[in-house]
Amino acid sequence: MSEPAAGNTGPGAEKGPGGAGYGLSGSGSGEGTRAVRAGLPKPVKHEPALPGPVFAAHFHLPGDPTGPYTYGRDENPTWTLLERAIGELEAPGRDGVETLVFSSGMAATSSVLFSQLRTGDAVVLPSDGYQALPLVRAQLEAYGIEVRTAPTGGDAQLEVLDGARLLWIESPANPGLDVCDIRRLVGAAHARGALVAVDNTLATPLGQRPLELGADFSVASGTKQLTGHGDLLLGYVTGRSGEAMAAVRRWRKIAGAIAGPMEAWLAHRSLATIQLRVDRQNATALTLAEALRGRPEVTGLRYPGLPEDPAHTIAAQQMRRYGCVVSFTLPTRARADRFLDALRFVDDATSFGGIRSTAERRGRWGGDAVPEGFIRLSVGAEDPQDLVADVLRALDETAD
């Protein structure tokens, strides 16, 4: 067992309950082993393994106001442990990497974009990314930042990179599941002096480690498969540059986009089972995709783990697991609605990554460029045979 904990040498590294981290570094341990211990403090007699949430707006602070814990908008010991844990999964064994947690994935996303970009800068965003990005785009443009977009598949970002300050990648993209060659795009962006951020929400750090692929930031929603129970919102940024991360930290402070201690603690507790959940859910997602590919009413089936998927070759180069989301299109909106209604083990709900399967007709939101019958299905931890049987039965029962 090695220490101090890998992955977090920022201001949070030297503090927190139990002092130096007790997590395992990248070498000599598997991901499951790392996950169950990630971010834990050193064992202390009569203390719990994972200290409970610290509810504090302020901390006792006589004399000069020095850190680590002064005011609850700046730092909280429950965040410190979670940030260390996420850092150990996103960048095992890497020095000089820092993780910051936020109240949501969008808070984390906004913290990078709005702390790194200035009036007159140009940024490249995916045209097929998360549905709140168009809102972000409008806000960036209102601040005089030039926004260029490119689709995720086919590395089309290369054509609009010249003069950009930041390249924002979402791979796999939600909900269309296209993938781009992160290493290649990072190389091209760095050669032009641009920073690269990767939205790692869909892959999770067990599926893909953007910093190892050269990215400057890995940004994600912790609301989805990272925590996996559909009971909290959270976000994080892991970054390699101290200067850039200081700006992200400053943005968190001035926007006040902080995680509640209860959410942070729940997230840390859930992180211990990430390997179990991800392995189970992703294996079933592949089984389900295989079962769907023979169905005549299903078109546009996408799962990056399917060997014939257009994204598979690049995904296999840079991902170690392919996610729990399968997307496909049914012939009509009415058919898609009937199908969703007929499912017994799959809830009609948005979001993804939870241990209970969910699905939705994505077009109902109006934000994504998808057909009316497009379904995004998030595979949970049910028995694979139950889930596959349920989906196939719902298709059979709702045939025209």
Is residue 235 involved in binding ligand PLP (CB under 6 A)? Answer: yes
Q: Encoding tokens for residue 155? A: 């590395």
Is residue 174 involved in binding ligand PLP (CB under 6 A)? Answer: yes
Beta bridge partners of 237: 100, 219
Is residue 233 involved in binding ligand PLP (CB under 6 A)? Answer: yes
- Rounded (10°) CA dihedral 122, 235, 106, 168: 20
Q: How many residues bind ligand PLP (CB under 6 A)?
A: 15
Could you tell me the smallest distance in angstroms from the CB atom of residue 102 to ligand PLP? 9
Q: Encoding tokens for residue 313? A: 């070759």
Is residue 270 involved in binding ligand PLP (CB under 6 A)? Answer: no
Is residue 102 involved in binding ligand PLP (CB under 6 A)? Answer: no
266 closest CA partner among 235, 213, 227: 227
SS (H, E, C) 143-188: CCCEEEEECCHHHHHHHHCCCCCEEEEECCCCCCCCCCCHHHHHHH
Residue whose pair of structure tokens reads 């109240």 in the numeric block: 103
Could you tell me the smallest distance in angstroms from the CB atom of residue 234 to ligand PLP? 7
Is residue 218 involved in binding ligand PLP (CB under 6 A)? Answer: no
In whole angstroms, what is the distance from residue 335 CA to residue 313 CA?
A: 32
Q: Residue 242 contacts by C-beta under 8 Å, 6 or more apart in sequence?
A: 10, 96, 98
Instruction: For the segment 9-28, give every residue that binds ligand PLP (CB under 6 A).
Output: none
For residue 140, what are the CA distances in angstroms to 116, 137, 169, 381? 11, 5, 17, 39
Which of 90, 170, 181, 382 touches ligand PLP (CB under 6 A)? 170
Is residue 176 involved in binding ligand PLP (CB under 6 A)? Answer: no
Nearest residue relative to ligand PLP (C-beta): 105
**Which residue lies nearer to ligand PLP by CB, 220 or 291?**
220
Is residue 90 involved in binding ligand PLP (CB under 6 A)? Answer: no
**Which residue lies nearer to ligand PLP by CB, 29 or 201?**
201
Is residue 130 involved in binding ligand PLP (CB under 6 A)? Answer: yes
Is residue 111 involved in binding ligand PLP (CB under 6 A)? Answer: no
Instruction: For the segment 194-213, give every residue that binds ligand PLP (CB under 6 A).
Output: 199, 201-202
Is residue 106 involved in binding ligand PLP (CB under 6 A)? Answer: yes
**Residues 340, 229, 16, CA angle at the centre, nearest 5°?**
160
**Which residue lies nearer to ligand PLP by CB, 76 or 221?**
221
Q: Residue 394 contacts by C-beta under 8 Å, 6 or more apart in sequence?
A: 339, 342, 343, 344
Is residue 259 involved in binding ligand PLP (CB under 6 A)? Answer: no
> Residue 180 is which amino acid?
C
Is residue 99 involved in binding ligand PLP (CB under 6 A)? Answer: no
Is residue 298 involved in binding ligand PLP (CB under 6 A)? Answer: no
Is residue 390 involved in binding ligand PLP (CB under 6 A)? Answer: no
Could you tell me the smallest distance in angstroms from the CB atom of residue 175 to ligand PLP? 8
Binding segment (CB under 6 A) for ligand PLP, from list 150-158, 219-227, 245-253, 366-374: 219-227
Q: What are phi and psi of 221, to 5 degrees?
A: -85, 125
**Which residue lies nearer to ligand PLP by CB, 40 or 113?**
113
Q: Encoding tokens for residue 341? A: 């209604």
For residue 252, what are the CA distances in angstroms to 83, 110, 236, 269? 14, 9, 11, 23
Which of 78, 104, 116, 329 touches ligand PLP (CB under 6 A)? 104
Helix (H, G, I), strand (E, B) or coil at 291: helix
The site for ligand PLP (CB under 6 A) is made up of: 104-106, 109, 130, 170, 174, 199, 201-202, 221, 223-224, 233, 235
